[in-house]
A and B are shown apart, each in its own frame.
Chain A
Amino acid sequence: MKFLLYLLLALVVVPLQTTMLHYVSVFGVRPDLGLIAACLVGFLGGELDGLILGLILGCFQDMLSAGDLWINVVTKGGSGFLAGLAGRHMAHITPSVMTAGLAIISCLSSAVFLYSMNPAGLDEVWLGVRSTVLVQAGLDAAVGAGLYLLFRQRWSDDRMVTEGAL
């Protein structure tokens, strides 16, 4: 059931990412909704959920990207898993923790992309960091924190119910 839900989520997120998101781009950089979704689910649902959703999202994103077929699967799956691990070791997830966590994971994910582009020298690496990595990290963190604030009540209720059941 959860798998189907994640599949449906991916079927909404990825087309949204490729078609509508350029309206909210900053300096030509768009927030990565796939990464945000995988991290949020990882933070709140655990590393397995984050990993599964990340893999599904990455697979779909790779189909609609000019890059190699592995790169989104690895980065999104890894991001979901990392977020799950981080979420497991936190007693309280606050919006500021979520923002910082998302920014760090976004930077790590972008670093893999940057490495895969085979930059010619330090100048190109710095250009990539300045023009894409940092901007995307900021956008991912902002959008992720916004979504977390929007649905915080519902998620915390779910957590309480889950913890109560356990």
Chain B
Amino acid sequence: MAISRSTYGTRRLAIVLFACLLVALFLLPSQSQRLLQYVGGPLGQVLSLPLAAFSSVDHGITDMWNGYVALQSVHEENRQLHRDIEFLKGQNNQLRESMTAVQRYEALLSFKQQSPSQTLAAQVIGRDATNWYRGMILNKGESDGVRTEMGVVTPAGVVGRVVKTNSTSSVVLLVTDPNNAIAGVVQRTRDEGIVEGTSHGRARLKYIPLLSRVQAGDRVVTSGLTGAFPRGLAIGSLIQVEKSEGDLFQSAEIEPEVDLSKLDEVLIITAPYEDAEAAQKLLQAIHGDRKKP
């Protein structure tokens, strides 16, 4: 009974205090605010501890969600981005390759327009089937008008001559093959000779007159005496002149002008002369005669 009376007293006291607080708030608002702030300072500090703890847990959960659970989609997105990068890299590579191809084609076209000869562009599709000949296979054949003995060049210079053809492809014997022979002339001294390949992958100008003053560095060009090439196409530069005692002629080693290991496109000289049509007819007549029994 005593407890009940005490509780009743406390309640009355609380109500009275609350009423006083309300009256104070209404009648003295600024002073009561200051008082509340004064009381709220320590309370806020007390509250801040659990608040920080909860906040930390909340952040932890959010981080865990974003870092692990929500990364399922990010992982997929990452993979997609990687795929995109790979695709773009490939595309970029293709574009670079196309750009270099366009530059090569431009050079070929420019050479083709300037050259007095009739030429046919062809792509290198393979190398000789054996290790014994320095040859390459082109994607143009008899159906495109390619015949044996036609010259093959690039804007840089002479590549070789066609030795075999079938309907869709042809085989070119390179200028560095020992079985090849092209009539050449030293540009500075006008001395003529025969350019043959060597076993070392270079070429050699043979039958240079003994009294000739050729020297290393001289450029050798086609003389135009043989049917395959017009006059003046670069073959290479002399790197060493050899003159043995008792020999009737000098000979000189030539570094070919064209890098024959890195050829992608070439031009086949279908008619090397200015009067190309007449030459073409002549060639056709020759081949026609050969085919006749």
Contacts and interface: CB of A to CB of B under 8 A. Distances in A.
Interface of A: 14-15, 17-19, 22, 28-30, 32, 34, 60-67, 72, 110, 113-114, 117, 124, 127-128, 131-132, 136
B124 to A, nearest CB: 10
B199 A66 contact: no
A19 B131 contact: no
B169 to A, nearest CB: 8
A72 B164 CA distance: 15
A113 B130 CA distance: 10
Nearest to A33: B129
A72 B131 CA distance: 12
A104 to B, nearest CB: 18
B166 interface: yes
A34 B130 CA distance: 10
Contacts of A64: 126, 128-129, 137, 169, 171
Given A117-B178, A124-B199, A66 B128 contact: yes
Contacts of B163: 66
A29 B129 contact: no
A117 B130 CA distance: 13
Q: Which of B130, B131, B201 has the most CB of A within 10 A?
A: B130
Interface of B: 125-135, 137, 163-164, 166, 169, 171-173, 177-179, 199, 201
A65 B170 CA distance: 9
Given A18-B137, A117-B178, A127-B199, A65 B125 contact: no
A66 B131 contact: no
A17 B126 CA distance: 9
B204 to A, nearest CB: 12
Contact of A32 (B131, B173, B177): B131
Given A18-B125, A18-B128, A67-B132, 11 more contacts: A18-B126, A22-B127, A32-B130, A63-B164, A63-B166, A65-B129, A66-B128, A66-B172, A66-B173, A66-B179, A132-B131
Contacts of B166: 63
A65 B171 contact: yes
Contacts of B173: 66
B132 A132 contact: yes
